[in-house]
Structure 1
Amino acid sequence: MKQFTTLLLAVLSHSVLATNAPKNIIMMVGDGMGPAYTTAYRMYADDPSTPEVEQTVFDRLLVGMASTHPDIVSGFVTDSAAGATALSTGVKSYNGAIGVDTNKKPVQTVLELAKIQGRKTGVAVTSQINHATPASFGSHNESRQNYDQIADSYFDDKTNGQFVLDVMLGGGWKYFIREDRNLVEQFKEAGYQYVDKLSQLSTVSTGTPLLGLFADSGMPWALDSSNQRRLPTLTKAAIRQLENDQGYFLLIEASQVDWAGHSNDIGSAMAEMHDLALTLEWLEQYINENPDTLMVLTADHSTGGLTIGAKGNYSWKPQWLKNLKASPAEIGKQLITVKNKGALASNLLGFELTQEEIASLNVIESDELKPYHKAISKILDGRSDTGWTTSGHTGVDVQIFAKGMGSERFTGHLDNTEIAQTVFELLRDKK
């Protein structure tokens, strides 16, 4: 009797869950976005005129935590490729792997299954569209460094005779328009619309395949973009193209949180987090209006070892990050060729530099960007009391955020592979 009762409960449980299968699935990756980033963003976004520190969209949508380690052959700290492969396939692999297992054999991704089921599929990212994360959902390769091969695979490799991706939005001109092959022309001949300016996204015909490339490789930093809401713009355009009666699967990546972490650049990091937060806020409303949609966001890993508070000061001062007129990288680029470095830096940072800070710029004797970028970032670190432990990745657990149909399945502590496995279950549960 006990066994029968257990079996009956299991069947009933599966039956209830099976009816809770979303039509549309939006997976999001905040690349490099460990917990310190969402905490820092709460303080950065805080209204200083009120006594409390207000919640952000990340706080509202938080449901769990996830471990991030790759297959043991690569140790305990993942790269973006192995992290994305775990999130796309539910399988641990080695660092550098793109949608393949440790034997370099292709493994089906959640996006590919969605395509097989008749859903439309897409990626909207601020990196190049053949970068590690989008590639791990829509391609298979033994190395993330094989950028041209990955770009080619988007055209050459088919699922049930169809292109794997109906919508591709991000950067990547140099990989898709090459001397040996012009993939843009090939996609256009195959029926895809093509745009190369964000402003053109509002004019494309809906419901048709779309390729949009907006930079040579990764898109400009949010701080340097003419449209500083670039990720919401990409997201809205992708969803407009993908919506249909059969449903869709969309991967969205805030790619450059990670790049800011690698550069130990807190100014760009907070601007990239704001770009992602605006996207999430729009998606909150979209899901309220489209309750048959699931959104799940996590990070592949954390980058930079971001520390809120440095040198034992027991303080963090994000107000110094709020008036930047350009990214530290762009400020550094302009400093290379000007004589009055202090005046230019003060103008673009939005505050007057001290003589000591100006001296730190004047002593640089280089015509390369990196020393200036690093010097500007160091000034912002000093002003804000920001610390960093590395220019690489760390092995900490990351957060899971979810909303919509099926979101209850992502609560608690999961391994990153369990996120993909749960998405597979939700795809297969659809009636």
Structure 2
Amino acid sequence: MKSTITFLLAFFALSIVVTAQEDYKDKRNLKEHFTNTEKHEVTKLPEKEIPIGAKPRNIILMIGDGMGTAQLFAAYTTNGGMLNITNLPYSGFSTTQSADNYTTDSAAGGTALSTGQRTYNGAIGVDVNKNPIPTILEIAEKHGKATGLVSSSAITHATPASFIAHNVSRNNYEEIAADFLKTDIDIFIGGGKSFFEDRKDGRNLLKELEEKNYRIFDSIYQAANYHQLPMAVLTASKHNPTYPERGDLVQEGTAKAIKILDKQDNGYFLMVEGSQIDWGGHENNTAYIVKELLDFDKAVGKAIELAAGDGETLIIVTADHETGGMSIESGDFENGEIHAKYTTGNHTGIMVPVFATGPGAEHFTGVMKNTDIFHKMMYLFGFDQ
């Protein structure tokens, strides 16, 4: 009897943790109208021409989680008909289906982008037989490139996890956190601190990271004057707040990562995620979606400002899937207004946009599979597995 009670308590505690990390999927806060009163300017692209056939030293992959064309055009409308994302000169579409479902989740979608293989929904860096697959971040690391992750969610959440961890379930956050110790990632920025230090197994991964010479910070501000790698910036116990409550974390995290990775000798791979566009889609909350996408667009602008001018950096902007079945009923460019409708509180199977600039950007046009993005990055980096 005692063992049964212990098991039930443990199961209940685990359920609370999982629910706390995934409960945004169940919230419904229908808001169809939004007016943007704070338009931002777009960053000017460098005039320097990149020759066709050039290959990058660095790749920055930026993922707007849940960002379909309607979400993108809603942000474009409310920002007065301009975005950094839509200014990128090459564009196409990506199909997003997973191995076991017409409609992917973020774990399988992220794994397709990070490994070049489609897998089952819920899988983190493993194939359909639950075997680990090398990710682009791990492969870049093996080839001597510096690596980084930035996310507005917990860094252990599905999309960032799929670039660094290997697990049969996206819900195994503590196991995913432990996988960070199996790599030599140079910088990671996001929430999820509790999965590193307040664990069921009693391990303190923050101390283990420090033993690997990582400096641990609680905010970008705290890390502002530190410029040595490796470092971890864990900005929240679990997920970060919404925008603008969390401040300019995504923009500042992107800038911090680029500045510090760019000093490394062999180039770098960086993945940046705007996580909460998806969460607004689950809520059918137009204001939430657009604010998050505008914040993500500012991070894209920061990447353009800091990296596009060197002629060595490929910037790719895409999504893992669309969320909400969002459609635009009406809008006003001048007043920054949008009115949207929704068909679901979940993901959909429609194609998502892909944009690119820099050496190799011409490869990211037309209709491609999400797995093609991985293979194109591998080719452009000159890697084989």
Q: TM-score range by the shorter chain?
A: 0.7 to 0.9
Counterpart residue number, 1:59: 86
Runs of 4 or more above 3 Å deviation: 316-322
Going from structure 1 to structure 2, the CA distance change for 1:404 and 1:276 (only over 3 Å counts) comes to: same
Count of residue pairs brought into register by the alignment? 330
- Please point out which of 408, 412, 427 is paired with 2:366: 412
Counterpart residue number, 1:106: 132
- Please point out which of 231, 234, 237 is paired with 1:216: 237
TM-aligned CA deviation for residue 242 of structure 1: 1.4
- Alignment of 1:264 with 2:284, yes or no, is yes
TM-aligned CA deviation for residue 99 of structure 1: 0.8
Q: How does 1:140-159 map to 2 (within 5 A)?
A: 140-155=166-181, 157=182
TM-aligned CA deviation for residue 32 of structure 1: 0.3
Is the Cα contact below 8 Å between 2:79 and 2:336 reproduced in 1? no
The code of the aligned residue for 2:78 comes to Y
Q: How does 1:222-301 map to 2 (within 5 A)?
A: 222-225=243-246, 227=247, 229-243=248-262, 244-301=264-321
Counterpart residue number, 2:165: 139
1:405-426 alpha-carbon deviations (Å, 9 max, x no partner): 1111111111111111111111
Going from structure 1 to structure 2, the CA distance change for 1:316 and 1:192 (only over 3 Å counts) comes to: same
1:56-106 alpha-carbon deviations (Å, 9 max, x no partner): 2222125101100011xx221000011011101111111011111101111
- Aligned counterparts of 2:328 and 2:229: Cα–Cα separation in 1: 45
1:339-361 alpha-carbon deviations (Å, 9 max, x no partner): xxxxxxxxxxxxxxxxxxxxxxx
Is the Cα contact below 8 Å between 2:96 and 2:351 reproduced in 1? yes
Q: How does 1:311-350 map to 2 (within 5 A)?
A: 315-316=330-331
Is the Cα contact below 8 Å between 1:207 and 1:242 reproduced in 2? no
TM-aligned CA deviation for residue 184 of structure 1: 1.3
TM-aligned CA deviation for residue 318 of structure 1: 8.4
- Which of 1 and 2 has higher RCO (CA within 8 Å, sep 6+)? 2
Counterpart residue number, 2:3: none
Structure 1: gaps (5+ residues): 1-15, 47-53, 158-162, 310-314, 323-383
Is the Cα contact below 8 Å between 2:191 and 2:236 reproduced in 1? yes
- Please point out which of 211, 228, 247 is paired with 1:207: 228
Going from structure 1 to structure 2, the CA distance change for 1:221 and 1:320 (only over 3 Å counts) comes to: farther
Is the Cα contact below 8 Å between 1:173 and 1:214 reproduced in 2? yes
- Aligned counterparts of 1:201 and 1:106: Cα–Cα separation in 2: 33
Report the 3-state secondary structure (helix = DSSP H, G, I; strand = E; otherwise coil) of the residue aligned with 1:224. coil
- Aligned counterparts of 1:215 and 1:318: Cα–Cα separation in 2: 36
1:192-225 alpha-carbon deviations (Å, 9 max, x no partner): 1111023113122x13101011112111111212
The structure with the largest helix share of the pair is 1
- Aligned counterparts of 2:300 and 2:173: Cα–Cα separation in 1: 29
The code of the aligned residue for 2:286 comes to I
The code of the aligned residue for 1:214 comes to T
Report the 3-state secondary structure (helix = DSSP H, G, I; strand = E; otherwise coil) of the residue aligned with 2:124. coil
Going from structure 1 to structure 2, the CA distance change for 1:223 and 1:285 (only over 3 Å counts) comes to: closer
- Alignment of 1:421 with 2:383, yes or no, is no
Is the Cα contact below 8 Å between 2:62 and 2:300 reproduced in 1? no
TM-aligned CA deviation for residue 429 of structure 1: 5.9
Going from structure 1 to structure 2, the CA distance change for 1:316 and 1:140 (only over 3 Å counts) comes to: same
TM-aligned CA deviation for residue 303 of structure 1: 0.3
Report the 3-state secondary structure (helix = DSSP H, G, I; strand = E; otherwise coil) of the residue aligned with 2:244. helix
Please, what TM-score do these two structures have when normalized by structure 1? 0.73
- Please point out which of 109, 121, 129 is paired with 1:95: 121
- Aligned counterparts of 2:179 and 2:307: Cα–Cα separation in 1: 32
- Alignment of 1:45 with 2:79, yes or no, is yes
The code of the aligned residue for 2:331 comes to W
- Alignment of 1:400 with 2:374, yes or no, is no
Counterpart residue number, 1:196: 218
TM-aligned CA deviation for residue 319 of structure 1: 8.9
Going from structure 1 to structure 2, the CA distance change for 1:385 and 1:296 (only over 3 Å counts) comes to: closer
Q: Percent same amino acid among aligned pairs? A: 38
Is the Cα contact below 8 Å between 2:101 and 2:121 reproduced in 1? no
- Please point out which of 146, 163, 185 is paired with 2:207: 185
1:236-268 alpha-carbon deviations (Å, 9 max, x no partner): 111122121211110100011011111111111
Is the Cα contact below 8 Å between 1:21 and 1:429 reproduced in 2? no
- Alignment of 1:26 with 2:60, yes or no, is yes
Going from structure 1 to structure 2, the CA distance change for 1:253 and 1:107 (only over 3 Å counts) comes to: same
1:369-416 alpha-carbon deviations (Å, 9 max, x no partner): xxxxxxxxxxxxxxx532111110000000001111111111111111
Counterpart residue number, 1:4: none
- Aligned counterparts of 1:401 and 1:388: Cα–Cα separation in 2: 25
- Please point out which of 326, 332, 336 is paired with 1:306: 326
- Aligned counterparts of 2:203 and 2:333: Cα–Cα separation in 1: 46
- Aligned counterparts of 2:382 and 2:139: Cα–Cα separation in 1: 9
TM-aligned CA deviation for residue 301 of structure 1: 0.2
Report the 3-state secondary structure (helix = DSSP H, G, I; strand = E; otherwise coil) of the residue aligned with 1:187. helix
Report the 3-state secondary structure (helix = DSSP H, G, I; strand = E; otherwise coil) of the residue aligned with 1:201. coil
- Alignment of 1:116 with 2:142, yes or no, is yes
- Aligned counterparts of 1:221 and 1:319: Cα–Cα separation in 2: 26
- Aligned counterparts of 1:237 and 1:213: Cα–Cα separation in 2: 14
- Aligned counterparts of 2:358 and 2:295: Cα–Cα separation in 1: 21
Report the 3-state secondary structure (helix = DSSP H, G, I; strand = E; otherwise coil) of the residue aligned with 2:266. coil
Is the Cα contact below 8 Å between 2:78 and 2:335 reproduced in 1? no
